[in-house]
Amino acid sequence: MRRTIVVLFIFGVAALCLAQKLRFTPVDRDRVLEQARNVPETDRQRAAQLKELFLDAGCNGNLLREQRIDGADTPNVICELHGESAETIVVGAHYERTSSSARPIDDWTAASLLPSLYHSLADRKRRHRMIFVEFADRGNELSGAEYFAGHLDPSELRHVEAMINLDALGLSPTKVWTAHSDKDLINALVHMMYAMKLPASQIDIAATGSSDSEPFASRKIPQITIHSMTQQNVAERSASKFRAGNYYDSYRLLCGYLAYLDATLKPRSRAE
């Protein structure tokens, strides 16, 4: 028992020391919450609003673009943050309205968070190239995520080190779908959870439908799905009350997590 306590203490101190060295600038709480609560009615309006949010966050020029998808009415919205290397971290969320019982909980809260995550990281040099993608999925079809992953050229695909998938946030404290996620990415999240003293736990969300991380997992890219759904949300296939405090805590944890991955993530093996 004494050895366990010592190990946990060392782990906590090491995580705290690293967190103090990480640099990121979170967006003001009121602004983050306003963006989550201002939900457009149609998918076209959602795509347009997300583009505006990225522009407001400072992502512009050829770093912000739309990716048209064959047979789809709306595009993927993509914002890129340059890094010092070609090694890439993809951060994604889908933005379409809930229209299927197979995907019953609206993901706007996650989609609207991506511009704020970009903003938190953009004022400092980053080791990794980061690509923030708003996926134009359709119902339970991963059309946006599959199109994006499928249209990465071989060189880009080889340099994707991780995919961070965000699903509905703000329903409860941060959750991770551990059974469906890479263990090293989970461990990194635990590091930041301890360092930032913010809560996170695990909930399996397989029953809520497909995940945008699947096209990346099928290409052997390490991935993690972070959300806020409870067992009740999953069992009843319905959302619960939006919790502003939990939502902003998730945002801050994700800011630290992405900064931590940028500082520590090592190139994956190319042998597969």
Residue 53, domain CATH: 3.40.630.10
Query: What are the tens digits of pLDDT across the range 221-265?
Result: 999 999 999 999 988 888 889 999 999 999 999 999 999 999 999
In a domain, 58, yes or no: yes
Structural domain span for residue 16: 2-264
pTM: 0.90
Residue 139's pLDDT is 62
Task: Give 140-169 as a DSSP string.
Answer: TB-HHHHHHHHTS-HHHHHTEEEEEEE---
Q: How many domains does the chain have?
A: 1
Query: What are the tens digits of pLDDT across the range 31-43?
Result: 999 999 999 999 9
In a domain, 272, yes or no: no
Query: What are the tens digits of pLDDT across the range 146-160?
Result: 999 999 999 999 999
Q: List, in sequence order, every residue forming a beta bridge with 138; answer none if it has no partner.
A: 141
In a domain, 270, yes or no: no
In a domain, 271, yes or no: no
194 has a pLDDT exceeding 70: yes
In a domain, 38, yes or no: yes
In a domain, 78, yes or no: yes
In a domain, 160, yes or no: yes
- With left for phi above 0 and alpha for psi between -120 and 50, is residue 191 left, alpha or beta? alpha
Residue 100's pLDDT is 56
Query: What are the tens digits of pLDDT across the range 59-96?
Result: 999 999 999 998 889 999 999 999 999 999 999 999 98
User: What is the H or E stretch that residue 79 is in?
Assistant: strand 76-81
In a domain, 180, yes or no: yes
State the virtual CA torsion across 150, 152, 154, 157 in degrees, nearest 10: -100
